[in-house]
Chain A
Amino acid sequence: MKKILISGLLILVFAVSGFALPQPQVRVKQMVDSILGVLQNSGMSPAEKKAQVSGRVQEYLNMQSMARRTLGAYWKDATEDQRQRFSDLFVKVLEGTYLNRIGDYSGGTVKYLKQRVKDDKAIVDTAIISAELEIPVQYKMIYQDGNWQVFDIVIEGVSLIKNYRSSYGEIIRRNGYEGLLALMEKKVSAMEGQ
């Protein structure tokens, strides 16, 4: 009887610890390896690389959460339609910003320093090591839909989401919600025109 109880307990323990798998750090590593795999592939054209990276990254990033956090306090005042338009534009702005940088990649490896997990939140510390630089990069993650998803990237202490939130917040205060959306639309079409 005792044995059954103990083994039952053990199963429970394993089931609970298994809940959080795969580990956040492993997820980040998968994402980074997947991107590096594309970047280091010399047989692909820049346009192909862009499409590949874009497709692969979506799986690991929680764009919905990123958009919501970027709007912060303004999210709840926005209408459902505005939220949707903002989210779509925000994804395009991020893509335009980072995918256009793909050509700048010139080598470098990633070192995984530590991970901290608390309930459904996690922080993964990494560093990008290249010839003369060592850049600390931190991934903030949440556990959602059975997976760890990145919702913010902090580079040398500068949080991507906080930066967008701070500047977009000021634009909303100045130009209103529609004003921000109009500016974003303009920026996105300029990016696509390149």
Chain B
Amino acid sequence: MLLRIFTLLFAGYFVLVGSVFATARQVENNNNQGIMTRASSEQPDDLSFDDFEADFGDDFSASTADAEKLISDPFQPFNRGVFWFNDKLYFYAFKPIAKGYRFIFPRPARVSVGNFFSNLATPIRAGNALLQLKFRDFGTEIYRFVINTTFGIAGLFDPAESVAGVEKSVEDFGQTLGHFGVGHGFYLVLPIVGPSSLRDGTGVFVDSFVDPFRYANLETREFIGVKFLDAETRLSLDRDTYEGIVQDSIDPYLFIRAAYAQRRLAQVGEDTYNINIFEGPLFDGDFLNPFDWFGF
């Protein structure tokens, strides 16, 4: 009996949350134009001046050759070799398969498969948020997992974002190490995996210990199959980013290395890359995060 009441209360809470957010979204959409005009007519926010110079970075100061490198690369000949191997693997195996996959399954189906894998990777994101003492992000991940596993039918859908507007916070052990001041070490291109570094490669290895598939009693062949499906799903949803880079840059290896270093720096530096689309405390995406209620 008690259990039943709890379940009802629980369900009631989420329905309420959903409707509040749905309304909030609508209101927000209607106000979009208003926010825009207000923001442009107001004086800029003084509080943000602290990070203004940091955001501008070295763009106005003379930078040295060292700073330009972004990431050290002592094993470049080796990395270029693996890069070449990955390139061939991409164009002759992974991409053709992704194209066939794209052709057979409509986009919504592939998005759902992607959501499913992403939901199962929650322990990695939640665990690393916790290690970095980002309790808010930890709560967000738990909230998303509960909603998406139940209402989202085992994670195939993402109502936590599409209805409640609570976005995923991307965390991994490489970022956790970076958060506590560990640098990249050196750039490393891993076979199949792609751009990485000593730090981030270690991170991928550590994260694999909280990967649910590791404990699913799969045979090696099945495990590889699952990972392959995950990778192909992501490739099928991507808009040929890699092709574009290869086609347009003088030296794709250098271009990807620079982008990787910058992207990881941004991920480590920011709490989350989420943009809070709700204005005001009531519609703050974290308002319904239980961890917020206890003052974390």
Quick one: CB contact mask for B230-254 with A, threshold 8 Å, 1 for yes? 0000000001000010001111001
Contact call A152/B32, Cβ cutoff below 8 A? no
List A residues 43-75 near B (Cβ within 8 Å): 69, 72-73
Within 8 A of B (CB), among A85-134: 93, 96-97, 100-101, 104, 111-118, 121, 123, 127, 132, 134
Interface status of B228 (Cβ within 8 A of chain A): no
Residues of chain B at interface, number, CB under 8 A: 46
Q: Are B44 and A96 in contact (CB under 8 A)?
A: no
Question: Does B219 belong to the interface (CB within 8 Å)?
Answer: no
Which residues of B are found within 8 Å of A118, using beta-carbon distances? 49, 52
CB < 8 Å neighbour of B111 from A26, A100, A132, A138: A132
- Whether A116 and B45, one on each chain, are in contact in the complex, defined by CB atoms closer than 8 angstroms, is yes
Q: Please state if A156 and B266 are interface contacts (CB–CB under 8 Å).
A: yes
A10 within 8 A of B: no
On whether A96 and B248 interact (CB within 8 A), knowing A140-B56, A159-B57, the answer reads yes
Residue of B nearest to A138 (CB): B55
Say which one of B59-67, B94-102, B282-290 lies at the interface with A. B59-67
A165-192 CB contact bits vs B (8 Å, 1 = yes)? 1111111010000001001100100010
Complex contacts, B68 vs chain A, CB 8 Å? 72-73, 165-166, 169-170
Query: Are A152 and B251 in touch, CB under 8 angstroms?
Result: no
A116-B250 in contact (CB<8A):
no
Complex partner residue of A163 from B39, B239, B262, B266, CB under 8 angstroms: B262
**CB–CB A173/B250 < 8 A:** no
Query: For residue B48, which residues in chain A have a CB less than 8 angstroms away from its CB?
Result: 114, 116
What's the minimum C-beta distance from A179 to chain B, rounded to whole angstroms? 10
Query: Contacts of B39 on A, CB cut-off 8 Å?
Result: 25, 112-115
Q: Return chain A residues, CB-CB under 8 Å to B223.
A: none
Report the interface size class on chain A. 35 or more
**Minimum C-beta distance from A111 to chain B (A):** 7
- How many Cβ-Cβ contacts under 8 Å join chain A to chain B? 126
Q: Are B56 and A23 in contact (CB under 8 A)?
A: no
Does B169 reach chain A (CB closer than 8 Å)? no
Q: Which of B40, B44, B262, B277 contacts A158 (CB 8 A)?
A: B262
B139 smallest CB distance to A (angstroms): 21
Q: In the complex, what's the smallest C-beta–C-beta distance from B213 to chain A, in angstroms? A: 24
List residues of chain B with CB within 8 A of the CB of A187: 248-250
Please, which residue of chain A has its CB at the minimum distance from the CB of B167?
A: A134
| Docked pose: A152 CA to B262 CA in angstroms | 14
Contacts of A93 in B (CB 8 A): 248
Residues in A neighbouring B259, C-beta threshold 8 A: 158, 163
Once the chains bind, are B70 and A162 in contact (CB under 8 Å)?
A: yes
Instruction: Tell me, in angstroms, the Cα distance from A167 to B45 when the chains sit together.
Output: 35
Supposing A72-B68, A132-B111 touch, asked if A170 and B254 sit within 8 A by C-beta, the answer is: yes
Q: If A115-B40, A116-B52 touch, does A161 touch B248 (CB 8 Å cutoff)?
A: no
Query: Does the CB pair B263–A121 fall under 8 Å?
Result: no
Q: Mark A146-165, 1 if CB is under 8 A from B, else 0.
A: 00000110001111011101
A residues touching B (Cβ–Cβ < 8 Å)? 23, 25-26, 29, 69, 72-73, 93, 96-97, 100-101, 104, 111-118, 121, 123, 127, 132, 134, 136, 138, 140, 151-152, 156-159, 161-163, 165-171, 173, 180, 183-184, 187, 191
Q: A72-B68, A140-B56, A167-B250 are in contact. List 5 more A-B contacts (CB 8 A).
A: A29-B36, A113-B39, A114-B39, A115-B39, A158-B263
8 closest A-B pairs by beta carbon, nearest first, are: A157-B266, A167-B254, A166-B258, A97-B248, A169-B68, A158-B262, A163-B258, A25-B40
